[in-house]
Amino acid sequence: MSDHIMIRRAQAATSWNPETWTFDVVRSTGAPVQRVDARGAYDELLAIEQAAFSRLCPLLDSHNRESVDAVLGHVDNLRAVGGELLGRATLSRHNPRSQRIAAELSDGRTFGVSIGYTVSKWSERTDPATGRCQRVAVAFTVLETSLVAIPADRHAGIRSMTTDTTQAATPDTNQTAAVDRAAATLDAAASRAAVNGEIRAIARTTGLAQDWIDGQIDRGASVDQARAAALEAMQTRTAAAQGLRNQILVGTDHNDPAARVRAMGEALFVRVDPSHKPGEQARQYVGLTVPELARECLRARGESTTGLSSAGIVERSLQTTGDFPMILADTVGRTLRQAYDAAPAGVRQLGRQTTAKDFRAKHRIQLSGAPTLEPVNEHGEFKSGALAEAQESYSVSTFGRIIGFTRQAMVNDDLGAFSDITRRMGVAAAAFEANFLAALLLSNPKMSDGKALFHADHGNLAAAGGAITADTLSAARLAMRKQKGLNDELIAVTPKYLVVGPDRETEAEKALATISPSASADVNPFAGKLEIVVDPRLSAAWFVVADPAQIDGLEYAYLEGAIGPQVTSQVGFDVDGVRFRVRLDFGAGFVDWRGWHKNAGA
């Protein structure tokens, strides 16, 4: 018995599934392989039906058993059918080598498949046609399956290591019957392999899938039976297509360049934020470096990348395709938006978000409450009423900055600095909006009636500044409850927020704290009644604010279709790399004073 691992190669089946990262393989057909040892030349054959294997074996890179990195995945569904060793290979999504192979398979490339095995029992016979010695592996164990760079003909194996036959079992003259049975099995297997080859050719011609091929081989169909089955399958497919002729199919075209750009951008973002769960299409690109993504962009456009270095690939992708800069821009946008959404809101959470169609002044018309109902006179006449209206306005303006990602950083795959500056830009965009709104609040802007936002005539300004106490809060609440609409009707504004700067945060918490009083006079009437909003841009003054969903007050707007910061990319000429422009179309204004009350503080 020999424990020497032997190798033979076959062709890979072209059944790649980019969604499950699986493909079917014909691991061996058992065809004769010419060998030479100290006793001379001989043909080695495998008795396929006698193969022993586990239900799961590793998928290696070129029989490399020395490194864990060389494990590309595994092969399962192992079986011997029609004189062939079949299996289903699954690539690992976490191995960079597997990710590279997945990209190659998606491009239509095929790889050779080779098995590593040990032989525990040999038999010999003489080929009556050629007179050559034939050694039959009547008992062997398959240990692993490998993908190899150079595929062999499916009827000829390639051994990548010299076979040591000194330990092979010496033929026993009493094994003649076993040899004859093995020879008969091999002859039948060779014939079956030829039929199976014809079945695969029929499937390729008629466009039938791998499951149809497996079904024909499993039932031992002849060539004529396979042709009849193929004709029936084509007729069924045609009838189904005619039934769908009048239906509209809606879905995603994964060959669409825009969809591919989004998928690659999302895959690159996973490297920036490993907690992000990629979509189905993006998974095939997860783990690829920036140069490898650039290579994928070139391949998608039919560009050759053979012999190009990482620097050459990045440079060519920047010059010949717009997809690559768009992928980087997609990642910038995702990273920037994540940091932008996570930034503290401050005064911003007290405003109502809207959109503006253009950059012209946005007018907000306020209507009074409906006229009071009056009695209908004895003649059945109804009196007419009218709605009073007022108008406030503000406009959206454009703000932005430019950041860059150099070619050197792309070649080095330096995503650390790239994501860091992008996150900072996201935080800066959120801070800009918060500063803008806080500055607007503190400026006490004029309203359409010519008076400041906070004015005694508006009933929303405390007569004297004071600390945050039950008394000052009560006065603010009373003033808001007594607010009147445009027709002098009571509107009963309900306070919800207490807005303070960091210097008054503790004071505000004490004023709203829940206590266990010993007497009714000690009860805190505002315990749990207001939510505290702290904005570091505020100082002494504090505000009581109504829910913006209930009454108009502070309003901010983005340009329609461009909510939040927007990212566009441009390949630089004066800068060796890609520049990204972060643009924000933003504006804000107060459209009513009745939902806000100010106390200048003590």
> How sure is the predictor about 153, in pLDDT bands with cuts at 50, 70 and 90?
very low
Residue 47, class by beta-carbon neighbours within 10 Å (0-12 exposed, 13-18 middle, 19+ buried)? buried
Per-residue pLDDT, averaged over 151-166, amounts to: 34
pLDDT in tens, 497-517: 999 999 999 999 999 987 655
Name the domain count of the chain.
Answer: 1
Q: Of 46, 143, 28, which Cα lies nearest the Cα of 86?
A: 28
Residue 86 counted as domain residue: yes
Provide the terminal-to-terminal Cα distance of the chain, rounded to the nearest Å: 97
pLDDT at 166: 32
pLDDT at 20: 84
Per-residue pLDDT, averaged over 261-266, amounts to: 88
Query: Rounded CA gap, 281 and 251, in Å?
Result: 13
Under DSSP, the state recorded for 371 is P
Handedness of CA 406, 412, 416, 419 (dihedral sign): positive
Residue 356 counted as domain residue: no
Query: Rounded CA gap, 54 and 137, in Å?
Result: 18
Residue 217 belongs to domain spanning? 6-240
> How sure is the predictor about 29, in pLDDT bands with cuts at 50, 70 and 90?
low
pLDDT at 351: 92
CA distances in angstroms from 529 to 10, 36, 308, 348, 473, listed in the order given:
76, 93, 67, 21, 11
DSSP letter string, 169-189: PPP-GGGHHHHHHHHHHHHHH
Query: Rounded CA gap, 334 and 117, in Å?
Result: 49
Per-residue pLDDT, averaged over 376-400, amounts to: 70
> How sure is the predictor about 8, in pLDDT bands with cuts at 50, 70 and 90?
low
Residue 445 has pLDDT above 50, yes or no: yes
* Host H or E run for residue 117: strand 112-126
pLDDT in tens, 477-489: 999 999 988 777 8
Residue 268 has pLDDT above 90, yes or no: no
Residue 488 counted as domain residue: no
Per-residue pLDDT, averaged over 573-599, amounts to: 88
Residue 520, class by beta-carbon neighbours within 10 Å (0-12 exposed, 13-18 middle, 19+ buried)? exposed
Rg (CA), the chain: 39
pTM summary value? 0.53
pLDDT at 384: 55
- Tokens 């809101």, residue located: 345
Residue 428 counted as domain residue: no
CB-CB contact of 143 with 5 (8 Å): yes
Residue 167 has pLDDT above 60, yes or no: no
**Higher pLDDT pick, 127 / 400:** 400
Query: Rounded CA gap, 468 and 460, in Å?
Result: 16
Mean pLDDT of the chain: 78
pLDDT at 377: 67
Angle at 230 between CA 86 and CA 225, to 5 degrees: 80
Residue 334 has pLDDT above 70, yes or no: yes
pLDDT at 173: 42
pLDDT at 255: 57
> How sure is the predictor about 295, in pLDDT bands with cuts at 50, 70 and 90?
confident
Q: What percent of the chain has pLDDT over 90?
A: 21
Residue 100 counted as domain residue: yes
Q: What percent of the chain has pLDDT over 70?
A: 79
**Higher pLDDT pick, 181 / 307:** 307
Residue 161 has pLDDT above 50, yes or no: no
Residue 121 counted as domain residue: yes
Tell me the two tokens of residue 250.
């809606």
Query: Rounded CA gap, 542 and 475, in Å?
Result: 13
Residue 276 counted as domain residue: no
> How sure is the predictor about 556, in pLDDT bands with cuts at 50, 70 and 90?
very high
pLDDT at 583: 92
> How sure is the predictor about 313, in pLDDT bands with cuts at 50, 70 and 90?
confident
Angle at 300 between CA 297 and CA 302, to 5 degrees: 115
Residue 175 counted as domain residue: yes
Interaxial angle between packed helices 96-106 and 290-300, expressed in degrees from 0 to 180 and rounded to the nearest 10: 10
Query: Rounded CA gap, 194 and 503, in Å?
Result: 87
CB-CB contact of 588 with 436 (8 Å): yes
pLDDT at 595: 93
Residue 358, class by beta-carbon neighbours within 10 Å (0-12 exposed, 13-18 middle, 19+ buried)? exposed
Residue 388 has pLDDT above 80, yes or no: no
pLDDT at 379: 62
Q: Beta strands 33-37 and 542-546: pairing type?
A: unpaired
pLDDT at 3: 52
pLDDT at 491: 83
Residue 61 has pLDDT above 70, yes or no: yes
Per-residue pLDDT, averaged over 438-448, amounts to: 94
Range scoring the smallest mean pLDDT among 86-95, 344-353, 510-519: 510-519
